[in-house]
Structure 1
Amino acid sequence: MTSHLTTHVLDAATGTPAKNVVVSLARHMSGGGTTGVAQGFTDADGRLALGPEHLEPGMYALTFGTGAWFADRGIPTFYPLITVTFTVEESDRHYHVPLLLSPFAYSTYRGS
């Protein structure tokens, strides 16, 4: 089963993939709160496919455990958790949410 949600984490300070970053996917509920959907670790290329094959339309959040990843390298960071919230409009589309990170900055965008 192929996931329609993927991510890619790149250490922008070194230009290398961020291997073994824990990533959690949660869905925001219409009445408030969230419910967990999936969790996994980035592979050797910093990539991860997670979640069901089709995400129902709604608001979701990817949370990246960057604090633990930097701590394993002995590097202090200002952002121990990075949460990217996004909207799924069509359940049959592929969604790619990459993350570029450094100890004191990060950026993301809607990938393809």
Structure 2
Amino acid sequence: MSGGKLTTHVLDTALGKPAAGVKITLFRVTAAGHEKLAETVTNADGRTDAPMLLGAALTVGSYELVFSAGSYLRASGQAQGDVLFLDEIPIRFGVPDASAHYHVPLLISPFAYSTYRGS
């Protein structure tokens, strides 16, 4: 493999369906701070239309995906109000091998979330 890739998707575990319309922002995390690399929105299948990073753009290091879950939860009628239990969900992870595929999904409900390294 000449280069790796970073992909993600969002599933709504409370409604049992993909979470469409979730804004996702990707940052590279360094000692100097966060560098914004990409921003996208999930499609009807809860996935991004393209990898968040691909090939040489994926390098060894630390990254953070920030999922705007609150906007999605409000729009789906599962949450209301100015302050939500879950709103912006950051997931920080490391990439030790830039030639590998890193799939970082988010499973959400109004009061819980989980993630894992998928395939």
Give the conservation status (yes or no) of the 8 Å contact 1:25–1:51. no
Once the two structures are TM-superposed, the CA of residue 73 in structure 1 deviates from its matched residue by 2.1
Tell me if 1:71 matches 2:74: yes
Once the two structures are TM-superposed, the CA of residue 45 in structure 1 deviates from its matched residue by 0.6
User: What does the per-residue CA deviation read over 1:8-67, in whole Å, with 9 as the maximum and x for residues that have no partner?
Assistant: 1000011100001000000011x2311001010111110122124331100000000001
Once the two structures are TM-superposed, the CA of residue 92 in structure 1 deviates from its matched residue by 1.2
Root-mean-square deviation (CA), in Å?
Answer: 1.6
Larger deviation: 84-93 or 52-61? Answer: 52-61
Question: What secondary structure is seen at the aligned counterpart in 2 of 1:71?
Answer: helix
Corresponding position of 1:38: 38
Corresponding position of 1:96: 103
Larger deviation: 45-54 or 67-76? Answer: 45-54
The whole-number CA distance in structure 2 between the counterparts of 1:88 and 1:20 is 26
Question: Which of residues 71, 76, 80 is equivalent to 2:87?
Answer: 80
Corresponding position of 1:19: 20
Q: How high is the TM-score relative to the length of structure 2?
A: 0.86
Question: What secondary structure is seen at the aligned counterpart in 1 of 2:37?
Answer: strand
Shift >3 Å, 4+ stretches: none
Question: What secondary structure is seen at the aligned counterpart in 2 of 1:47?
Answer: coil
Corresponding position of 2:29: 28
Structure 2 unmatched runs, 5+: none
Structure 1 unmatched runs, 5+: none
The whole-number CA distance in structure 1 between the counterparts of 2:111 and 2:7 is 24
CA spacing shift, 1:9–1:84, aligned 2, 3 Å: same
Question: What secondary structure is seen at the aligned counterpart in 2 of 1:69?
Answer: helix
The whole-number CA distance in structure 2 between the counterparts of 1:56 and 1:70 is 32
The whole-number CA distance in structure 2 between the counterparts of 1:109 and 1:32 is 27
